[in-house]
Amino acid sequence: MGWKETYNKKLVSISDAVKVVKSGDFICTPGGPCAAYDLVAEVAKRYEELENVTVSSALMMRPMPHFEAKYQGHIGHLALFLGPLERIFMPQGNIKVNSCSFSNFDDLITQELKPDVLFMVCSEPDEWGYMSFGPGGASVNYSILKTARDVVVQVNKKIPYTFGTHAHIHVDQATCICEQDYDVPVLPNIPITDVEKQIASHIVERIPDGATVQLGFGGIANAVGFFLENKKNLGVHTEMLTDSMMDLTKKGVINGAFKQYYPGKITYGFGVGSKELYEFMHRNPMLESMPIHFINDINNIAMNDNFISINNALTVDLTGQVCSESIGFNMFSSTGGQLDFVRGAHRSKGGKSFIALNSMSVGKSGPINRITSTLQPGTVVTTPRSDVQYVVTEYGIADLWLKSIEDRARAMIGIAHPDFRESLEKEAIEAGLISKKVTVVKK
């Protein structure tokens, strides 16, 4: 029997497809634009007959019914990476957050979570019966397939067909197949602020031609991407493919000519962005999607000379401890791959690692200093100070690599917002982080 006959034999409605789920099951679906929103919503309709079912995903781009409190005990949610929507619903108590670096995701999925069911949205089959994972890429599906009892595939004709390593599934591998089209969720480009432009300018001047770059999630990293237009022969090895990378590729800035790991290719885990980005990804031979634990493997990162890692932070203390996950005990984001890329850049010949943040933000009660003498209780340290190289604000760059505690503290005060520098110095002296300046008067 050919694959087309197999496809038709496995074809069912969405309501019938989710009947594979039973009480106690752990369901995994890839995050972002290729999360199986229709399938998960259909399972939610059965919540009264189900108990202790968990849905796991990351960076969801649509609110799901089971995020709400009334589903507790029936269908819960585990966020492998916390996004804005999950953050909104967390107070209702039905969303838990995992803490795991992306480089360890294969172990997380196969040894700890051991999912029973994989929900996935794929492209139409190609002429050989293979369906592409689309912009969700190879990121986690390869790992989930190792343990899943049932694999439910929703075919969406609007999903781009992308290339990559472990980035496809054959019709034969599916337990059942259903069809329903929808527009792939987009992430609009947020206007870049003047402060972000200033931060980006400090970083861009230190990126050499021929470098391979990784840009983290957020406004500053996105700003850097749009400010690289005058560079030449850049490469990309990144978790997330974005619009700025697409634009630089179309302009010839990114060509991967000097990459050592998959030269000439943009290697990435998943893509999130505009409709134009998804069109750019469709059957583009320059793009090579890979499982996220391949992308974030420190050794793979370090294969590329002059590797540049750029990531955002919420808070950095005077000794260089970087928090990118929480505000006190309140979770804001997740571990992700920041530390993987910081360490990979260090191992790269000529590599550089940048942690970027605005020096100040504005809260309900007024200005908030984001460079602090100490981290408030509950704050998660995403990157230890011993791994940090450069910290960047709109006021400059602090080089912390291998520096003493006192040198670190003084460098950090130097890039803090001017309104807070005097108080930071006073706090640092009181804490013993820096010595009080003594003026010697000559007689």
Could you give the CA distance from residue 78 to residue 86 in angstroms, rounded to a whole number? 10
Cβ neighbours for 50, distance < 8 A, ≥ 6 positions apart: 21, 22, 23, 43, 74, 75
Per the annotation, the verdict on 239 as an active-site residue is yes
* Catalytic residue, candidates 42, 86, 196, 239: 239
Q: Are 66 and 94 in contact (CB under 8 A)?
A: yes
DSSP secondary structure string for all residues of 269-316: EEE-S-HHHHHHHTT-TTEEE--HHHHT-HHHHHTSTTEEEEEE-SEE
Dihedral sign, CA of 376, 377, 381, 385? positive
Instruction: Please give the torsion angle defined by the CA atoms of residues 171, 173, 175 and 176, in that order, rounded to the nearest 10 degrees.
Output: -20
Could you give the CA distance from residue 419 to residue 398 in angstroms, rounded to a whole number? 18
Q: Are 162 and 134 in contact (CB under 8 A)?
A: yes
How remote is the C-alpha of 90 from its chain's centroid?
Answer: 19
Query: How large is the C-alpha radius of gyration of the chain?
Result: 23
Among 431, 388, 439, residue whose Cα is nearest residue 411: 388
Strands 176-179 and 212-215, by their bridges, are unpaired
Q: Half-sphere exposure of 113 toward its Cβ, with a 13 Å CA cutoff?
A: 34
Q: Are 134 and 282 in contact (CB under 8 A)?
A: no
Q: How far apart are the first and last CA of the chain?
A: 100
What does the block give as tokens for 370?
């984001």
DSSP code for 159: S
Q: Are 370 and 315 in contact (CB under 8 A)?
A: yes
Which residues are part of the catalytic machinery? 239
